[in-house]
Amino acid sequence: MPLSRRIIAAGLFVVAALAPGTYVPGSVVRAADEPAPTAYWVYFGTYTGKKDGDSKGIYRAKMDIKSGKLSEAELAFEMGSPSFLAVHPNGRFLYAVGEGGGKEGGPVVAFGVDQKTGKLTKLNEALSGGSGPCHVAIDPTGTFAGVANYGGGSSAFFKLGADGKIGERVTFTQHAGTGPNKGRQEAPHAHCVQFVPGTKAAIGLVADLGLDKVKVFAQSATKADMVESGAFDIALPPGAGPRHIAVAGDGKFAYVCGELDSTVNVVRLGFAKTDKSEVVQSLSTLPSPVKGNSTAECVLHPSGKYVYVSNRGHNSVAVFKVNDDRKLTAAGHVTGDIKTPRNFAVDPTGKWMLVASQDGGKVGVWELDAATGAGKETGSTTAVSRPVCVKFVPVAE
């Protein structure tokens, strides 16, 4: 039986009927009766260097959820270029990729998180399998870690232990192909992994900038690994260069930013033989063309009402309103003291946006308007050299 038919027969592509905004992939899951935290540890992934003042690894600050104030950032763990971080759904573990590495890849590192003090304790590490690991994500059940290797043009999935440690690399896939942009799409370049919530078994989406595709992987019938399902790969507009993905809480739609053409693409997700995923809308992230602009991050507001995309060049975060049909309407831009906004994040309450200015040497805080999605610069910042990723973990009182 062909792979796609075998997966469908096993019932792995059935999406549960969850309400939009019920779960934001990558967030910490809290019990219904658990008190809302009054503060968060905010961890920053960075690009490191050897000069005085350069970043030395993962940094940490504390944010008061009422005021949005950030404490001074301090080094949480020293390692080389931990460019992207991911938090386990239970909030007790954090994972980082270290960009670089040769044929066998760069490091993927697991940490234990002390939610009272914010301290990180290294648990173990593995090799990503391909050069230039640039993104890591954890599935909603905490079973798998997915890693995108930009330089190697490949993706990998690891089993995770109950103790948070990285286990066996159960799946490795070398992507193949090219795109129309000869300067940037001369080869595959996997850029991020996201998991689809609300499914009976894990479904992983891997954006490949070089192929103009989002590749689809699903947990096998044995539940031991993730298998590639090329029949369900999602084609993006030629030359878009898909970079990052935000998945809706009900698992029915995804939003993909095009790095190369400065777009946000609305994807209706479908994982059945007669109902496959398709792009239903593409919008510019710019008010007017900006030479050299590229998008970086795509984030869905916890309410499910807004999608945000960062513009490097225009130095802004584009705001889009999510309509009832899940298509988008452009709603302006978050602006201010922003220099090369790489990653940014909206806190779990939906009130604050933290923007990592890669070339501004800081992370700043914007207050979001629930009625419009617009952001107002608060002036609260913390100094971090070359910050590229922002992640939240609740503080345990």
Looking at CATH, the fold of the domain delimited by 3-15+22-394 is given as: Methylamine Dehydrogenase; Chain H (2.130.10)
- The CA distance from 397 to 394, in Å, is 9
Number of H-type helices and E-type strands within the chain: 1, 29
> Higher-confidence residue: 297 or 7?
297
pLDDT at 15 over 70: no
Q: What contacts 61, CB < 8 A, 6 or more positions away?
A: 41, 42, 44, 70, 71, 72, 73, 74, 363, 382
Q: Does pLDDT of 307 surpass 80?
A: yes
* Residue pLDDT, tens place only, 322-331: 999 999 999 9
Amino acid 32: pLDDT: 63
pLDDT for the residue numbered 339: 98
Q: What are phi and psi of 222, to 5 degrees?
A: -80, -10
Q: What is the pLDDT of residue 100?
A: 84
Q: Which long-range contacts (CB under 8 A, 24 or more apart) does 217-221 make?
A: 217/146, 217/155, 217/157, 217/171, 217/173, 218/7, 218/12, 218/13, 218/271, 219/12, 219/143, 219/144, 220/7, 220/10, 221/6, 221/7, 221/10, 221/12
- As a whole number, mean pLDDT of residues 1-28 equals 46
Mean pLDDT of 233-237: 98
Dump the DSSP string for 160-195.
E-TTS-EEEEEEEEE-----S-TTT-SS--EEEEEE
pLDDT at 18 (0 to 100)? 35
C-alpha distances in Å from residue 197, one per residue of 17, 32, 90, 389: 10, 18, 15, 22
C-alpha span between 325 and 318 (Å, rounded): 20
Name the phi and psi angles at 39, rounded to 5.
-150, 160
Please say whether the beta carbons of 6 and 221 come within 8 A: yes
| Joined tokens for residue 36 | 């809302």
By the 8 A CB rule, do 83 and 117 touch?
no
Q: Map out the domains of the chain as residue ranges.
A: 3-15+22-394
Using pLDDT thresholds of 50, 70 and 90, give the confidence band for residue 24. Answer: low
Contact 73, 59 (CB under 8 A): yes
Q: Which residues contact 182 (CB under 8 A, 6 or more apart)?
A: none
pLDDT band for position 30 (50/70/90)?
Answer: low
pLDDT higher than 70, residue 31: no
Q: Is pLDDT above 50 for 141?
A: yes
| Residue with token string 């080869």 | 187
Residues near 41 by beta carbon (within 8 Å), at least 6 away in sequence: 60, 61, 62, 63, 113, 115, 118, 392, 393, 394, 395
Q: What is the DSSP letter of 236?
A: P
pLDDT in tens, 352-397: 999 999 999 999 999 999 999 999 999 999 999 999 999 999 999 8
In tens, the pLDDT along 171-193 reads 999 999 999 999 999 999 999 99
Q: What percent of the chain has pLDDT over 70?
A: 93
196 pLDDT exceeds 80?
yes
Segment 42-71 mean pLDDT: 97
Q: Is pLDDT at 3 greater than 50 in this prediction?
A: no
Residues 84-89 have a mean pLDDT of 98
Q: Can you tell me the mean pLDDT for 270-279? A: 95
What does the pLDDT read at residue 110? Answer: 98
Cβ neighbours, 10 Å, residue 73: 23
The reported pLDDT for the residue numbered 102 is: 81
Mean pLDDT of 235-250: 98
Average pLDDT value over all residues in the chain? 93
pLDDT digits (tens, 9 = 90+) for 255-265: 999 999 999 99
**Predicted local confidence at residue 182, as pLDDT:** 96
Higher pLDDT, 1 or 381: 381
Percent of the chain as helix, strand, coil, to the nearest 5: 5, 50, 45
Contact 124, 166 (CB under 8 A): yes
What percent of the chain clears pLDDT 90, i.e. is strictly above it? 88
Amino acid at residue number 24 = V
